[in-house]
Amino acid sequence: ADLGRPERVGRRDTCPQCHCDLRTCRQCRFHDPSLVDVCREPQADRVSDQARANFCDYFAVADAPGRAAVPSESPRTALEHMFRRR
């Protein structure tokens, strides 16, 4: 459902059509599945179920829910970062 881009999303808010939780990691602009902790916000606590409502203080509605806020790096670049010497 197209909900527009609400400014505030409460923990108990749900989609009026499918009744899925709206305040989830997957709906947040910091969500990035290409990262180990799946969050670009370094101070956020790890959430075990990104599809369920949570109490994260850093939640911000994503421009395109379910997608990373910043374009993910290429697979080659990701591998280079993974295996680089420290």
Mark out the alpha helices in 17-84 (DSSP H runs): 75-82
CA-CA-CA-CA torsion sign (41, 43, 49, 53): negative
Alpha helix ranges (H) inside the chain? 75-82
* C-alpha separations of 66 from 81, 83, 85 in Å: 24, 27, 32
Residue-level pLDDT, tens digit, the chain, 86 residues: 455 555 678 888 988 888 899 999 998 999 998 888 899 999 999 998 988 999 999 999 887 655 544 455 566 776 676 676 55
Tell me which residue of 11, 14, 10, 72 sits closest to 40, measured CA to CA: 72
Look up the pTM and report it.
0.63
